[in-house]
Structure 1
Amino acid sequence: MATPYHVQSPRSILLKMIATKQQPPALPPPPPPKLILQPRQRTSPAMWCAAIVCFAFSLLLIAAGAVILVVFLAVRPRAPSFDAAGATLNAVYVGSTSPAPYVNGDMTVAANVSNPNQKMDVVFRSAAVELFFGGRRMAAQALQAPFVQRRGQSQIISVHMVSSQVALPPELAVAMVNQVRSNRVVYTIRGTFKVQAKLWFWHYTYSMSALCDLELTAPPCGVLVARRCITRQHSS
C-alpha cells in the first residue's frame, strides 16, 4: 500500500518561504586567539648578587646552628644546685598584740651552692633567699653578688634570716606555738637567682629558683633533722 503524501495548502507554503527569507544568515566561526609572546627579560646582576648573598647567609646560619648543637652535646650544660647543708633555729618568739599576733625569729642556714658542670663556669649575677612559715614570709636576705662558681666547685654560704615583728594570722600563730612545743618546726626557704653560664667566648643568662622544706627541732639550739630541696631552671 503506497504511503500517502501530505498535501500542504498554498498559504502554508507561502508562510514558510517568508519565514525562511527573514532568518539572518549564519555567522562564520570566530578566528582562534593569537598568542602574543613577550620577549624574555634577562636577570640583572644586582638580582644575582642578592641571591648569592642570601644563599651564603643561609649556609652561615646552618653552620652556626650545627656548631652550637655540637657544643651543646659535648658540654651538656646543667643548672647549679642549691641545698641546705645545715640550719640552726636560734630563737622563736610569738607575741600577742592587737589586731594580730606577731613573731620574732632567728635562723642561720648553711646553703650549699654547687656547679655540676665539668666544662663551664657559672656566675651568679644576683641571688636572694626568703624564709616562709605556712606560706607567710618571715624574712628575706640578699646574697652578695656577683660571685663565680668554677666548674665542679661547691661553696657553703651562711645565710642569716631574722624575723622582726612579723604579723601572723591567729591560726598560723597557734600552729607555730604548737610546733615549738612538739619540738618539730617546719619552715620553707625559697631562693631566686640570675645565672650566667660561660664557655670560652660564648655565654648565656637564665633564671633559677630553689625551694627547700626544712624541719628543725625547737630553739634555742634547734638543729636540722630533715630537708627536701628542688632546683628549677627558667628561661629568661
Structure 2
Amino acid sequence: MGTPYHFQSPRTIMNKIINMKQQPPALPQPPPPAPTKIILQPRHRTTPAMWCAAIVCFAFSILLIVAGVVILIVFLAVKPRAPSFDLANASLNSVYIDSPAYFNGDMTFVANISNPNQKIDMVFRSATVELFFKDRPMASQALPPFAQRRGQSRVLNVHMVSSRVLLPPEVAMELVNQVRSNRVVYTIRSAFKVEARFWFGHYSYWMYTICELELTAPPCGVVAARRCRTK
C-alpha cells in the first residue's frame, strides 16, 4: 500500500503527476477471436460397384496365394532336376583345308543324356547340335525327337560333317597350327526343347549345353580332355 499524499513531500507528489502524464494511454484490448467453425464434409456412401471390385480383388489375392502354395507343395514333392549332357567319346576323322581357306572335316562323338528325376518323364521335342572352332560355325546336325523315362539314360551317336566352310585366313591358320601340334580344340553347343511330364501336368523349357572338346590330330583323333556345362 502506497504512502498517502498528505504524508508525502510536495516535490514527490509533483514528480508522480508528471510521470503519470508522460505515460502513453493504454491501448484498447483486441476483441476475442471468433470461434472457428468446423465444416464437416458429407460422407460418401460406398457404391455397389466399389464393393464388387473389392470382393473381386480379395478373391484374386486368395487365388494367387492358394496357387503359390500348391506350386510349392508340388515342387517339394517332385523335386525337378534338369537332364545331364556329357560327351562319352569322340573321334576326329579328318581335317582338310584347301585354297582359299575352305574347311572340310569329319568328326563323330557319342553323347550321353540322363534323366536324373525319379518322378518326372522327359520328352525331347527338338534338338540341334552345332560344331564351332574359334566361335566360327563348322557343322550343324538336327536330332530326331525322343523320350526318356525317369531315371533312364540315352546314348546318341552324332556325325558332324563340314563341307567347304569358308574360314578367315587367321582362323584357318590357327586350325592348321593346332593339327600340327596334335591339339585341336572344338566347341559343341546344343539346344534341346524339353517337356517334363509328371502326374497330371507338364511344363516345357529350353536346355542349352556347351562342351569344350580337345582332341588329338586326325585321322585317328581321340578325346584328350573335355568339359561340359548345362544351363
Interval containing the TM-score (normalised by the shorter chain):
0.7 to 0.9
Report the Cα distance in structure 1 between the residues aligned to 2:208 and 2:129, rounded to whole angstroms: 10
Distance 1:33 1:155 in 2: 87
Give the one of 93, 102, 106 matched to 2:96.
93
The equivalent residue for 1:118 is: 118
Total equivalences in the alignment: 221
Mapped pair 1:205 → 2:201: no
- 3-state DSSP of counterpart to 2:116: coil
What secondary structure is seen at the aligned counterpart in 1 of 2:118? Answer: coil
Give me the whole-angstrom Cα distance separating, in 1, the residues matched to 2:207 and 2:77.
23
- 1:6-42 CA-to-partner distances (Å, cap 9, x unmatched) read 699xxxx9xxxxxx9xx9x877445423445566566
CA shift in 2, pair 1:159/1:46, >3 Å: same
Q: 2:110 is aligned with what amino acid?
A: A
Deviation string, structure 1 residues 90-135 (Cα, Å, up to 9, x no partner)? 21112122xxx12100111211122211111222232211111222
Aligned letter for 1:177? V
C-alpha spacing 1:176/1:37, structure 2 compared with 1 (3 Å): closer
5+ long unaligned stretches in structure 2:
1-7
**Equivalence map 1:76-225=2 (5 Å):** 76-97=79-100, 101-145=101-145, 147-225=146-224
| TM-score, structure 2 as length reference | 0.79
Question: Using a 3 Å threshold, how does the CA distance of structure 1 residues 68 and 7 change in structure 2: closer, same or farther?
Answer: closer
- SS state of the match for residue 118, structure 1? coil
Bigger shift: 203-212 or 178-187? Answer: 178-187
Moved more, 170-179 or 111-120: 170-179
* Runs of 4 or more above 6 Å deviation: none
Q: TM (normalized to structure 1)?
A: 0.77
Deviates more, 1:120-129 or 1:169-178: 169-178
Q: CA RMSD in A?
A: 3.1
The alpha-carbon deviation at position 82 of structure 1 amounts to 1.5
Q: Structure 1 stretches of 5 or more lacking a match?
A: 14-19
**Cα distance change on mapping 1:198 and 1:36 into 2, 3 Å:** same
Question: What is the aligned partner in structure 2 of residue 70 from structure 1?
Answer: 73
Matches of 2:222 and 2:110 in 1, distance apart? 12
**Letter aligned with residue 226 of structure 1:** A
Q: Which moved more, 1:185-194 or 1:173-182?
A: 173-182
- For residues 206-231 of structure 1, the C-alpha deviation after alignment (integer angstroms, 9 at most, x for no partner) is 22211111122222232223211111
How far the C-alpha of 1:67 sits from its partner, in A, is 1.2
Distance 1:81 1:42 in 2: 62
Q: Which of 63, 70, 79 does residue 60 from structure 1 map onto?
A: 63
